[in-house]
């Protein structure tokens, strides 16, 4: 493995989706400071996750990756993090029962602050300003001051990520994630919500399984704590490069700002800076593949990102859209599989299904999200390959950002509580509903 390239070398490759800072000295100062900060995760934990992703690629585990499209600093509160974690744990219990394998829990959190945008500028009422690129870059508020890219925010990302991850670690090891507790929340959902009632049968089955375990005196450690991993799109070269460290055990470089990092659909150019950076780090990594991705591109990416074909190293996160997955995915999976390439296939059921409503909201249909997951399972079952997991954008709060679902949210209802600063998220009830529906697909 060659030395990790310098930031300058990476930028020389023409990195896509980077902010235009107007104060290079301030950027350099932020990077210098970040390089001195303690790691947020340990390389050993990243290796542990890699082994679990490898298990998922063999069908011996199932990945649930979820959280915000874009975290914000103001929302990095205890309540928010707790709600997000709680709903992911609730989903995971349902999926574990249905899949009969461990669910690998990966949050889009503690670092998901930088966003790629389709346009560099945004115009409102004749005023044009830089597009919002996530709290890591600039503010959401539509004023020149707020939209100016501020390198100090890179340090804010570090601190917000550290406090979020600290809370997640405390919650997941300190009793909050107790299996019986999580199941009790699910039972409450089934009992108290009109939507939940449909899933009474499965909840009762889980209940019986837990009661049986208790009756025989089984009380393993796993009942009381869970492993939970962090992930984000590693988009901003300054931040990701500064958070890359040599692991003292192995002398190999890891991105220590998250357990898993992924390459977005807009930055996966084979000769681009992101692929070059990702090639050198040893974390488990993801790469998004949209409907325009060809099988040859996927093979070239795999050859470059995982030349030794290490299991668990590379996850292809497909995001075709419900209307395209059944036609587009088979060829990709078939060819990659035929070449003996070891990857985990995860279904991002969100990003191919986004559209704008007539009243100006970016949304998705719950039914499309589910249909894409169903298509994903159908394709893999037909080919005899392994669906390794799903990726969702969701929150533990009762927001109104995605239409449909058991509560039948419609376009007008979106205005009620639309809080996402980028993409629409499944709310708490939609997330749980999705878990039960995907559970039914897994059991078929
Ligand atoms: C995302 O995951 O929020 C995202 C921007 O996805 P993609 O790169 O697939 O568009
Ligand atoms: Mn998104």
Measured distance between the N- and C-terminal CA atoms of the chain, rounded to whole angstroms: 44
393 is in an annotated binding site: yes
Query: Residues 6 or more apart from 167 whose CB is under 8 A from it?
Result: 78, 81, 82
> How much is the pLDDT for 2?
65
Distance 393 CA to ligand 2 centre (A): 7
* Residue identifier of the C-alpha nearest atom 1 of ligand 1: 69
Is the minimum distance from the CB of 425 to ligand 1 under 6 angstroms? no
Distance 176 CA to ligand 1 centre (A): 30
> How much is the pLDDT for 98?
96
Query: Around 218, how many Cα atoms within 13 Å sit in the side-chain half-sphere?
Result: 10
DSSP helix/strand/coil, 88: helix
Decide if 95 is inside a domain: yes
Decide if 197 is inside a domain: no
The count of structural domains within the chain is: 1
* Residue identifier of the C-alpha nearest atom 2 of ligand 1: 69
Distance 13 CA to ligand 1 centre (A): 22
Is the minimum distance from the CB of 424 to ligand 1 under 6 angstroms? no
Is the minimum distance from the CB of 319 to ligand 1 under 6 angstroms? yes
Decide if 219 is inside a domain: no
Distance 311 CA to ligand 1 centre (A): 24
Decide if 16 is inside a domain: yes
108 is in an annotated binding site: yes
Q: Specify the ligand 1 atom closest to the Cα of 348.
A: 9
Q: How far is CA 182 from CA 141, 191, 247, in A?
A: 37, 14, 35
Q: How far apart are CA 101 and CA 95, in angstroms?
A: 9
Query: Strand pairing of 260-263 and 253-255?
Result: unpaired
Is the minimum distance from the CB of 68 to ligand 1 under 6 angstroms? no
Per-residue pLDDT of the chain (444 residues; tens, 9 = 90+): 568 999 999 999 999 999 999 999 999 999 999 999 999 999 999 999 999 999 999 999 999 999 999 999 999 999 999 999 999 999 999 999 999 999 999 999 999 999 999 999 999 999 999 999 999 999 999 999 999 999 999 999 999 999 999 999 999 998 899 999 999 999 999 999 999 999 999 999 999 999 999 999 999 998 999 999 999 999 999 999 999 999 999 999 999 999 999 999 999 999 999 999 999 999 999 999 999 999 999 999 999 999 999 999 999 999 999 999 999 999 999 999 999 999 999 999 999 999 999 999 999 999 999 999 999 999 999 999 999 999 999 999 999 999 999 999 999 999 999 999 999 999 999 999 999 999 999 987
Ligand at minimal distance from the CA of 316 is 1
> How much is the pLDDT for 1?
53
Q: Specify the ligand 1 atom closest to the Cα of 317.
A: 9
288 is in an annotated binding site: yes
351 is in an annotated binding site: yes
Decide if 154 is inside a domain: yes
Which ipTM score applies to this complex? 0.99
Q: Specify the ligand 1 atom closest to the Cα of 108.
A: 2
Instruction: State the CATH number of the domain containing residue 375.
Output: 3.20.20.70
Is the minimum distance from the CB of 108 to ligand 1 under 6 angstroms? no
Please give the DSSP secondary-structure letter assigned to residue 221: G
Domain span at residue 334?
Answer: 7-177+225-443
Packed helices 273-280 and 295-305: angle between N→C axes, nearest 10 degrees: 40
DSSP helix/strand/coil, 252: coil
* CA nearest to 399, candidates 412, 385, 413: 413
Decide if 252 is inside a domain: yes
Distance 351 CA to ligand 1 centre (A): 6
Beta carbons within 10 angstroms of residue 3's beta carbon: 8
Query: Strand pairing of 355-356 and 362-363?
Result: antiparallel
423 is in an annotated binding site: yes
Q: How far apart are CA 43 and CA 37, in angstroms?
A: 15
Decide if 238 is inside a domain: yes
Decide if 263 is inside a domain: yes
Q: Specify the ligand 1 atom closest to the Cα of 267.
A: 8
């Amino acid at each position: 493995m060659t030395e990790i390239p310098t930031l300058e070398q990476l930028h020389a490759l023409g990195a896509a989706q980077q902010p235009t800072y107007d104060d290079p000295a301030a950027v350099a100062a932020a990077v210098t400071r970040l390089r001195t900060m303690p790691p947020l995760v340990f390389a050993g934990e990243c290796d542990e996750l890699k082994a679990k992703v490898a298990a998922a690629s063999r069908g011996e585990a199932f990945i649930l990756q979820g959280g915000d499209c874009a975290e914000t600093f103001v929302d990095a509160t205890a309540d928010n993090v707790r709600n997000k974690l709680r709903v992911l744990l609730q989903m995971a219990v349902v999926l574990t029962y249905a899949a009969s394998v461990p669910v690998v829990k990966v949050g889009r959190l503690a670092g998901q602050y930088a966003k790629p945008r389709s346009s560099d500028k945004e115009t409102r009422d004749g005023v044009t300003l830089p597009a919002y690129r996530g709290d890591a870059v600039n503010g959401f508020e539509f004023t020149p001051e707020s939209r100016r890219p501020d390198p100090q925010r890179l340090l804010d990302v570090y601190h917000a990520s550290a406090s979020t991850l600290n809370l997640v670690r405390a919650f997941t090891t300190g009793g909050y994630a107790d299996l019986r507790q999580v199941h009790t929340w699910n039972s409450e959902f089934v009992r108290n919500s009109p939507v939940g009632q449909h899933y009474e049968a499965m909840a009762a089955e889980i209940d019986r399984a837990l009661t049986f375990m208790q009756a025989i005196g089984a009380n393993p450690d796993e009942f009381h704590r869970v492993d939970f991993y962090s992930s984000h799109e590693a988009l901003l070269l300054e931040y990701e490069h500064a958070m890359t460290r040599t692991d003292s055990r192995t002398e190999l470089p890891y991105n220590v700002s998250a357990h898993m990092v992924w390459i977005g659909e807009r930055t996966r150019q084979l000769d681009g800076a992101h692929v070059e950076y990702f090639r050198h780090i040893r974390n488990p990594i993801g790469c998004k593949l949209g409907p325009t991705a060809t099988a040859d591109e996927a093979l070239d990416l795999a050859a470059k990102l995982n030349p030794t074909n290490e299991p668990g190293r590379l996850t292809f996160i497909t995001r075709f859209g419900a209307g395209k997955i059944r036609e587009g995915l088979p060829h990709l999976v078939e060819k990659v599989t035929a070449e003996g390439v070891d990857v985990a296939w995860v279904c991002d059921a969100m990003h191919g299904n986004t559209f704008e409503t007539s009243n100006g909201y970016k949304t998705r249909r719950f039914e499309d999200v589910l249909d894409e997951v169903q298509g994903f399972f159908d394709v893999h079952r037909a080919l005899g390959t392994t669906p390794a997991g799903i990726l969702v954008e969701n929150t533990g709060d009762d927001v109104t950002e995605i239409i449909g679902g058991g509560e039948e949210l419609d376009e007008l209802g979106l205005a009620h509580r639309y809080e996402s600063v980028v993409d629409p998220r499944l709310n708490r009830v939609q997330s749980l509903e999705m878990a039960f529906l995907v559970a039914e697909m897994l059991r078929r």
